[in-house]
Amino acid sequence: MKILAIIEHTFREGLARKTIIGFFVISSFFLAIALLAAVFMPSSIEVGGGEAGSQTVEVMSDVTVVRQIQAFLTGFINFAALVLSIFATASILPNTMEKGSIDLLLSKPVSRNEIFLGKWLGSMLIVLVNIAYYIIGMWLIFGVRTGFWNPGFLGTILTIGYTFLVLYAPMMLIGVSSRSSALTIIVLYVFYFLVSPILEARDIIAQVASTPAIADVLSVFYYILPRPDAMAKFTNALVTVSALDWSPVWTSGLSAIVMYFFAAWLFRRKDF
């Protein structure tokens, strides 16, 4: 019951700061665009032309084409969901640790572990509810319009949610250490936009630099840090029914567990 109360408090905080409302409005806007596109998009289009002739592509009835469209949209959804989720939840734990907020929580019969767990669960639920709202909406639009109900596309709720889960571990660690939501956002965006793509391209970088040792050094960081780019490929493969590489799931999960452990340890030892 104590943890449920903290989760409720986290949701109320999200509502007060317009986080949940902002998420809902943005998701609804893109769902409206998708609905209009589904209504007005023709069932088939002509491609090619000239001497080679043209070919009719059944956009809304060809399962392969629909999967490709969904895979393209999944990349956008994954990117947008993570960027918005990082921005929306980065301040939750640092705000909780502010003078007054943490004093009020610690004055109640609740442990620091319960506060940490409740804030984590509350943040995850805020993100998962919004991800599920948008993806289920898109899945229904595609299903009604094409008659193809792709379970893999619906399953991206779990994979995108899991990707945020592993990214939220360093967010909580940085948030507890610095008590700064701004620093948390900056570090996570630098990692997501710069560091992760570099680590993903470690072999190419080593070939260009003609230094195999660079790939070895980058590989160490590649396997001990969360792998959002690799998880994006996993999500895409789920939609297109391609072979799944489970290694980023396990390595990112182990990395997140370690970071969550240290974040919780620091939170227990903090002098409030």
Contact of 135 with 154, CB cutoff 8 Å: yes
At residue 49, the pLDDT reads 55
At residue 96, the pLDDT reads 87
The number of distinct structural domains making up the chain is 1
Q: Which residues pair with 45 in a beta bridge?
A: 57
At residue 116, the pLDDT reads 93
At residue 197, the pLDDT reads 93
39 falls within a domain: no
Type of residue numbered 263: A
At residue 44, the pLDDT reads 63
At residue 9, the pLDDT reads 82
Contact of 219 with 125, CB cutoff 8 Å: no
Contact of 152 with 240, CB cutoff 8 Å: yes
At residue 155, the pLDDT reads 95
At residue 178, the pLDDT reads 92
Residues near 52 by beta carbon (within 8 Å), at least 6 away in sequence: none
At residue 183, the pLDDT reads 95
The Cα 48–Cα 55 span in angstroms is 6
176 falls within a domain: yes
At residue 54, the pLDDT reads 60
Nearest to 114 by CA among 246, 222, 264: 264
At residue 53, the pLDDT reads 53
Q: What's the Cα-to-Cα distance from 3 to each of 8, 9, 218, 233, 236, rounded to whole Å? A: 9, 10, 39, 35, 35
Q: What is the pLDDT along the chain (272 residues), one digit of tens a residue?
A: 678 888 888 888 877 777 788 888 999 999 999 999 888 777 666 655 555 556 666 666 678 888 888 999 999 999 999 999 999 899 899 988 888 788 878 788 888 899 999 999 999 999 999 999 999 999 999 999 888 899 999 999 999 999 999 999 999 999 999 999 999 999 999 999 999 999 998 878 877 777 778 878 888 899 999 999 999 999 999 999 889 999 999 999 999 999 999 999 999 988 76
234 falls within a domain: yes
48 falls within a domain: no
Contact of 235 with 155, CB cutoff 8 Å: no
How many CA atoms, within 13 angstroms, populate the side-chain half-sphere of residue 174?
21
Contact of 106 with 188, CB cutoff 8 Å: no
73 falls within a domain: yes
In terms of residue numbers, what domain contains 181? 2-33+55-269
178 falls within a domain: yes
Residues near 136 by beta carbon (within 8 Å), at least 6 away in sequence: 154, 157
88 falls within a domain: yes
Show the tokens assigned to 197.
Answer: 């793509």
Residues near 102 by beta carbon (within 8 Å), at least 6 away in sequence: 96, 272
40 falls within a domain: no
